[in-house]
């Protein structure tokens, strides 16, 4: 089964955007909207606000495609719009879908489904890069599977939280990008707290920064700025 490319692009709106006159700002938003609508017909494209949750970025675009070049073309065309000229990319993650190396004994079909992402069904998403320690990879597979069994059991208790794990080995700086979708941020908080007490937590090298994002339509997002 073909694998998907996945990109999370975080943008900061420059302060001088807010100094534009109303007509120029309106035209810039319209150009950006047309670009986003155009590319949403070519790939999966979702938009999120981070304006009230992060200091280093204001919005995020989640892109999923079978063509890596789609990301390049979208970002280049967006940058040429009246709004895009005032955007700086503050953080960018690139990854791919892949079948899990571990068996989900509670839901054997889950590992197969990881080759195709169907996102956007929940209001909130929590995105962060992830690295494991080298000791993790040097353990026998059977021991890693045992630790992952506990991880999977904990995750299965929080049915309101959907996990999207994608792989970045050789494509980007991090090893994984994890994106948790939910309509209940409190459930996600409780899930993360419980995972901290699991055996697998000992083998986490780094899992920051964490971005809390609120899904918006293209029009809703652009209207914020």
What pLDDT is attached to residue 1? 78
The CA-based diameter of the chain, rounded to the nearest angstrom, is: 63
pLDDT at 20 over 60: yes
pLDDT tens digits for range 185-211: 999 999 999 999 999 999 999 999 999
What pLDDT is attached to residue 162? 96
pLDDT > 90 in the chain, percent: 91
d(CA 143, CA 101): 13
Total-model pTM = 0.94
d(CA 49, CA 56): 12
Structure tokens at 114: 């990881």
The b-or-e profile of 64-93 (16+ CB within 10 A means b, else e) is bbeeeebbeebbebbeebbbbebbeeebeb
* Secondary structure element (H or E) that encloses residue 129, with its range: strand 124-132
- CA distance to 8, 113, 138, per residue, from 99 (Å): 20, 8, 20
Length of the chain: 225
What pLDDT is attached to residue 105? 76
d(CA 209, CA 207): 7
Residue identified by tokens 């997002």 is: 221
- Domains, the chain, in order of start with CATH, read 5-95 (3.30.70.1030), 97-212 (3.30.70.1030)
Contact partners, residue 34, CB within 8 Å, separation at least 6: 81
CB 101 within 8 A of CB 85: no
What pLDDT is attached to residue 58? 98
pLDDT tens digits for range 145-158: 999 999 999 999 99
Residue identified by tokens 């073909």 is: 2
pLDDT tens digits for range 89-132: 999 999 999 999 888 877 655 555 568 888 999 999 999 999 99
Average pLDDT over residues 215-220: 98
CB 28 within 8 A of CB 48: no
What pLDDT is attached to residue 113? 58
The band of 17, judged by pLDDT with boundaries at 50, 70 and 90, is very high
Pairing of strands 59-65, 44-49: antiparallel
Ranges of H-type helices in the chain? 22-39, 69-79, 109-113, 134-138, 141-156, 185-196, 218-223
d(CA 107, CA 105): 6
pLDDT tens digits for range 45-104: 999 999 999 999 999 999 999 999 999 999 999 999 999 999 999 999 999 999 998 888
């Amino acid at each position: 089964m073909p694998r998907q490319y996945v990109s999370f692009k975080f943008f900061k709106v420059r302060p001088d955007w807010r100094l534009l006159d109303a007509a120029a700002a309106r035209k810039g938003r319209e150009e950006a909207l047309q670009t986003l609508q155009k590319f949403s017909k070519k790939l999966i494209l979702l938009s999120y606000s981070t304006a009230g949750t992060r200091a280093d970025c204001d919005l995020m675009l989640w892109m999923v495609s079978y063509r890596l070049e789609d990301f390049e073309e979208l970002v280049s065309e967006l940058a040429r719009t009246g709004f895009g000229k005032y955007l700086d990319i503050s953080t960018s993650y690139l990854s791919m879908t892949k079948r899990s190396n571990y068996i989900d004994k509670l839901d054997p079909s889950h590992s197969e489904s990881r080759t195709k992402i169907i996102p956007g069904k929940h209001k909130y998403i929590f995105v962060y890069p992830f690295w494991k320690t080298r000791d993790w990879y040097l353990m026998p597979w059977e021991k890693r599977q045992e630790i992952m069994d506990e991880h999977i059991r904990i995750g299965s208790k929080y049915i309101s939280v959907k996990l999207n794990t994608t792989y970045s080995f050789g494509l980007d700086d991090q090893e994984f990008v994890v994106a948790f979708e939910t309509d209940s941020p409190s459930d996600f908080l409780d899930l993360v707290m419980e995972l901290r007490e699991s055996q697998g937590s000992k083998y986490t090298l780094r899992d920051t920064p964490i971005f809390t994002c609120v899904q918006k339509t293209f029009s809703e997002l652009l209207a914020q700025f």
